[in-house]
Amino acid sequence: MASTEIIDRLRQTLRQGQQAMADWEGGELAVAAVPGAGKSTGMAVAAAIAIAKFQLHRQQQLVIVTLTRSAVSNIRKKVLAHLKELRLPSSAFTVSTLHSLAYTIANNHRELSGIGETTIVSEAQKLRLIRSAASLWVKENPKIYALLLEGRGFDGEDTERLRRQTVLRTDILPSVGREAIANAKSSGLSPDDLRQVTASDDSNILEIAAGIYEIYGRLLKQEKAIDYDDMILGALKVLDNPEVRRHWQEKIFAVFEDEAQDSSPLQTKLLEILSVSHRQGTQQEVKNLMRVGDPNQAINSTFTTADPRFFNDFCDRCHKLGRLLPLKEAGRSTQNIMQAANYVLSWVNHHYSKTNENNEVNKPFYPQKIHPVPEGDPQKNPDPIDRGIEIHLGNEIATIEEEVELIGKRIVQLLQQNPLLSIAILVRQHNQGQFISKSLAWLTERHNIKIYDVEQSDRQSRVPMDMLAILQFMERPHSPDNLKAALEVLKGRQKISSQQDLNELASTPEKFLYPTLIDAPLSEIAQEAQAKCVGLLRAKIELPLYNLIPFIAFTLYDDEAGLLATADKLGDHLNQQLIGNYSMHTVIESLKEIVESEKFEAIEGENHEDRYIVSGQVTLIGLHKAKGLDWDVVFMPFLHKRICPGEPYIPESNKFLGDFGIAEVTRIQIGAIIHHEPILDAQRAWQKCTYVKQAEEFRLLYVGMTRAKRLLWLSAANSAPFGWNTLENRSDRVEPCPVLPALQKLVATHPRF
Ligand SMILES: Nc1ncnc2c1ncn2[C@@H]1O[C@H](COP(=O)(O)OP(=O)(O)OP(=O)(O)O)[C@@H](O)[C@H]1O
């Protein structure tokens, strides 16, 4: 077949909107698509057609960028298949994450980027450096630190001072540093840029943030290391050089970006520079840049600098130039699942809109509805299974146990009717996944239904970190930092109550571990925590060293989810690695290396999406990871108001600084600098942060709902644990996510549902 015919045929596989992507003739194009519209599918075909049409090759390539490594491999696979059909060279395109693209550029011109013989820090190393930066900041800024310690309601008592010191050093200051670095650095702001603005309440939060950020930079330099943001900055520095810039611009014919709603300003800048193409024989420049995204699926903005506003601005700009392509039709789900998602969108926009300081109305969602595909589309909206939507709230389900039991029974029924269905249960938190995994073990035992617990591998990758924290505590139990880290691990593994202030316990290790008669007695739950810690210390004295890892594993993990087996494997790995040199010190050092290089995860192997969507299998997966995927049946349990959209929460132990979280305030204030807005005082910044978080939580619900093709189950039992860290502390009549009762009523009464 001639290539024009193949192109034509490929084009015919697309729906109208996607065809417009494939018809791209150069220049800027914004594609704002609804969930399931076929962005990624459309982009892959558009890429292959562009390669054919513009006769691209190794020296003039199409560059595709996306957010995650798994998305990279998905798109690459699709484009390669189309190119094979077209008999075109695979060297005509590259697919990478933004970071690896930046690294390639920065690394190709080390003399310009300044990255030299450096290493890239892992997330764990970065966190360690931020903690060190916070400790150094305390030493170098005694005056501001003293003010923080005073905070409010300080009566000069020693125990309270020690408690506050622990909270500040182990929790609050590192969080402020993390926010400063995550937000300022990836937007190209320097520590001095933070110092040059003042909040309307004259608070010095930005000064503190700038200080920790600056010291972090110093530490990175000392370690001859760079972080991910440095790669982007390095690449931009390289591209400042006109000759080098021209070289890359000539090599890259065009840039296609997927998941554009998740890019930061610097990342966008990088793509804009790279996409510039020079019209032959003229000075004229055009940007060959296609950016595809969905502002309603922006779910990373509360922990990265991603902000859908940047993509929205790009869409607005393109709209004015007649270069905005809305993809409003989606063929993934049944009509009523899409209607339910549309209903959530408008209900939330109506009830949760907010006027900001510039008198603009902010809404959690971009008002874009999902429409079914028209007659004759290559993909037909599927038929629902039964009614397509099932909503069960507190009037029907009393407890979370009952809720999961019902889900289990429904799964058995569904798979009996059709063993080929793919099924997912989406959770918001790890511990919810753990609970489901345990509660549904009978599905496998009695019905041979496979449950693939995606989060389990995440939980397993925490094993080396847990071991490290406990061994460091065993080695130096009198360090408040070590004690707090060990208590955190015990709390995370639900071995001690989460209803206590760990800072208070950790701030005076001796008093806590070995109190004398004159010390105030510990509460009952603190005594329990103390017994666990003392038990660990006793084991260190009584057991041979190589038995410690199994002992800690039995203390921390129940016999579930393969954690004991993972600990075993880790123990064997250390035994082999340290033959003849096995000591507390060497074990700790090896564990540090494993944690910081994230090596153990590599030993465990990588996860592939092909394993997530399998006929007859139940996939248990976190909402963030589920983005981009779809299943025939999707269950979303535990949808309570406390989680979706969540409520503002400041731990009692942190309130001495005010009724706001200072890390969150840091994020909002830096965001204001980026967007050239007035810097809000701490109280108002906190309110804004609460709003931003709630908006994102609703979008996460929307992303979850739109993963379902034929049946969507939403539920919230009448009673639920308070924070999911412990299942014991439950309350009754826990409110469901506020949109659910309204949606349930609509589904029950409206004939279209
Ligand atoms: N033209 C088409 N013909 C047939 N199936 C299609 C077409 N376009 C997309 N699909 C299918 O629809 C589903 C959604 O497509 P895709 O993953 O590309 O959408 P998306 O817009 O990237 O989704 P989201 O961002 O919501 O995850 C996939 O199962 C895909 O195979």
Q: What is the mean pLDDT of residues 166-181?
A: 94
Positive or negative, the CA dihedral 34, 37, 39, 43 is negative
**For residues 44 and 563, what is the distance between their CA atoms, to the nearest angstrom?**
39
674, part of any domain = yes
**For residues 358 and 363, what is the distance between their CA atoms, to the nearest angstrom?**
14
Query: Is residue 159 scored above 60 in pLDDT?
Result: yes
Query: Is residue 740 scored above 90 in pLDDT?
Result: yes
344, part of any domain = no
Atom of ligand 1 nearest to the CA of 35: 26
**How many Å lie between the centroid of ligand 1 and the Cα of residue 291?**
17
35 lines ligand 1 (CB under 6 A): yes
Task: Determine if residue 37 is labeled as part of a ligand binding site.
Answer: yes
Q: What is the mean pLDDT of residues 133-141?
A: 96
Our count of domains for the chain comes to 4
**How many Å lie between the centroid of ligand 1 and the Cα of residue 413?**
28
In contact, 496 and 490? CB cutoff 8 Å:
yes
427 lines ligand 1 (CB under 6 A): no
Question: pLDDT digit string (tens) for 721-735?
Answer: 887 877 777 888 899
Which residue has the least CA distance to atom 14 on ligand 1?
36
704 lines ligand 1 (CB under 6 A): no
**How many Å lie between the centroid of ligand 1 and the Cα of residue 66?**
16
**How many Å lie between the centroid of ligand 1 and the Cα of residue 14?**
10
Q: What is the mean pLDDT of residues 667-690?
A: 91
CA 730 to chain centre: 27
Closest Cα to residue 432, out of 446, 453, 457? 453
From residue 738, how far is each of 51, 200, 344, 640 by CA, in Å? Answer: 48, 34, 10, 8
**Would you state the pLDDT for residue 543?**
92
Q: What is the mean pLDDT of residues 681-709?
A: 95
40 lines ligand 1 (CB under 6 A): yes
Question: Apex CA 293: angle with CA 314 and CA 179, to 5°?
Answer: 80
Which residue has the least CA distance to atom 19 on ligand 1?
38
Task: Determine if residue 234 is labeled as part of a ligand binding site.
Answer: no
* 490 in the same domain as 440: no
366, part of any domain = no
115, part of any domain = no
**Would you state the pLDDT for residue 274?**
97
377, part of any domain = no
Q: What is the mean pLDDT of residues 463-484?
A: 95
Q: Which of these ranges, 28-37, 43-52, 227-236, 418-427, has the smallest mean pLDDT?
A: 227-236
Q: What is the mean pLDDT of residues 253-268?
A: 92
Mutate to test the pocket of ligand 1, among 40, 79, 325, 366 (most ligand atoms within 8 A of CB): 40
E strand or H helix that includes residue 619: strand 617-622
In contact, 506 and 166? CB cutoff 8 Å:
yes
Last residue of a domain, one of 222, 241, 274: 222
Which residue has the least CA distance to atom 9 on ligand 1?
38
36 lines ligand 1 (CB under 6 A): yes
Q: What is the mean pLDDT of residues 119-136?
A: 91
685 lines ligand 1 (CB under 6 A): no
Task: Determine if residue 39 is labeled as part of a ligand binding site.
Answer: yes
Q: What is the mean pLDDT of residues 64-84?
A: 89
| Banded model confidence at residue 67, pLDDT cuts 50, 70, 90 | confident
Two tokens, residue 101: 């693209």
Mutate to test the pocket of ligand 1, among 300, 379, 624 (most ligand atoms within 8 A of CB): 379
CATH of the domain at 685: 3.40.50.300
* 198 in the same domain as 149: yes
Residue 420, C-beta contacts closer than 8 angstroms, at least 6 positions apart: 615, 616
* pTM score of the predicted model: 0.89
What b/e sequence results for 14-31 when a residue is b if at least 16 CB atoms lie within 10 Å of its CB, and e otherwise? bbebbbbbbebebbbbbb
| Banded model confidence at residue 604, pLDDT cuts 50, 70, 90 | very low
302, part of any domain = yes
Which residue has the least CA distance to atom 11 on ligand 1?
38
* 43 in the same domain as 134: no
Hey, is 692 helix, strand or coil? helix
Mutate to test the pocket of ligand 1, among 21, 41, 77, 610 (most ligand atoms within 8 A of CB): 41
Hey, is 691 helix, strand or coil? helix
Checking phi first, is residue 608 left (phi over 0); if not, alpha (psi -120 to 50) or beta?
A: beta
**For residues 629 and 644, what is the distance between their CA atoms, to the nearest angstrom?**
21
341, part of any domain = no
Task: Determine if residue 33 is labeled as part of a ligand binding site.
Answer: yes
Closest Cα to residue 112, out of 275, 236, 273? 236
33 lines ligand 1 (CB under 6 A): yes
Question: pLDDT digit string (tens) for 18-65?
Answer: 999 999 999 999 999 999 999 999 999 999 999 999 999 999 999 999
Q: What is the mean pLDDT of residues 255-282?
A: 89
| Banded model confidence at residue 204, pLDDT cuts 50, 70, 90 | confident
373 lines ligand 1 (CB under 6 A): no
**How many Å lie between the centroid of ligand 1 and the Cα of residue 316?**
25
692, part of any domain = yes
**How many Å lie between the centroid of ligand 1 and the Cα of residue 630?**
9
CATH of the domain at 483: 1.10.486
296 lines ligand 1 (CB under 6 A): no
Atom of ligand 1 nearest to the CA of 258: 22
Question: pLDDT digit string (tens) for 617-646?
Answer: 999 999 998 988 899 999 999 999 999 999
* 704 in the same domain as 673: yes
* 573 in the same domain as 477: yes
499 lines ligand 1 (CB under 6 A): no
* 128 in the same domain as 99: no
Mutate to test the pocket of ligand 1, among 19, 332, 377, 623 (most ligand atoms within 8 A of CB): 332
39 lines ligand 1 (CB under 6 A): yes
Which residue has the least CA distance to atom 7 on ligand 1?
38
Residue 521, C-beta contacts closer than 8 angstroms, at least 6 positions apart: 515
Q: Which of these ranges, 242-246, 403-407, 544-548, 643-647, has the smallest mean pLDDT?
A: 544-548
Helix H, strand E, coil C: the string for 92-158 is HEEEEEHHHHHHHHHHHCHHHHCCCCCEECCHHHHHHHHHHHHHHHHHHCHHHHHHHHHCCCCCCCH
Q: What are phi and psi of 730, to 5 degrees?
A: -110, 155
Is 0.90 exceeded by the ipTM?
yes
* 594 in the same domain as 501: yes
Question: pLDDT digit string (tens) for 97-112?
Answer: 898 899 899 989 988 9
Which residue has the least CA distance to atom 15 on ligand 1?
38
Last residue of a domain, one of 222, 242, 266: 222
* 185 in the same domain as 143: yes
Query: Rounded mean pLDDT of the chain?
Result: 91
Checking phi first, is residue 393 left (phi over 0); if not, alpha (psi -120 to 50) or beta?
A: beta
**For residues 619 and 421, what is the distance between their CA atoms, to the nearest angstrom?**
11
**For residues 156 and 89, what is the distance between their CA atoms, to the nearest angstrom?**
73
Which residue has the least CA distance to atom 16 on ligand 1?
38
**For residues 7 and 18, what is the distance between their CA atoms, to the nearest angstrom?**
14
* 272 in the same domain as 211: no
Positive or negative, the CA dihedral 465, 502, 133, 474 is negative
* 634 in the same domain as 578: no
Last residue of a domain, one of 161, 188, 222: 222
Rounded to a whole number of angstroms, the distance between the first and last alpha carbons of the chain is: 46
Task: Determine if residue 340 is labeled as part of a ligand binding site.
Answer: no
In contact, 224 and 119? CB cutoff 8 Å:
yes
- CB-based burial label for 581 (10 Å; 0-12, 13-18, 19+): exposed
Domain that holds residue 626: 349-355+384-449+616-749
Which of the pair, 723 or 137, is modelled with greater confidence? 137
Q: Which of these ranges, 23-27, 470-474, 508-512, 595-599, has the smallest mean pLDDT?
A: 595-599
Which of the pair, 248 or 650, is modelled with greater confidence? 248
Two tokens, residue 710: 């034929």
**Would you state the pLDDT for residue 603?**
38
255 lines ligand 1 (CB under 6 A): no
Atom of ligand 1 nearest to the CA of 706: 26
**Would you state the pLDDT for residue 425?**
98
* 740 in the same domain as 688: yes
709 lines ligand 1 (CB under 6 A): no
**How many Å lie between the centroid of ligand 1 and the Cα of residue 378?**
11
17 lines ligand 1 (CB under 6 A): no
Positive or negative, the CA dihedral 140, 144, 147, 151 is negative
653 lines ligand 1 (CB under 6 A): no
The residue assigned the tokens 């239904």 is 449
* 311 in the same domain as 269: yes
| Banded model confidence at residue 561, pLDDT cuts 50, 70, 90 | low
**How many Å lie between the centroid of ligand 1 and the Cα of residue 36?**
5
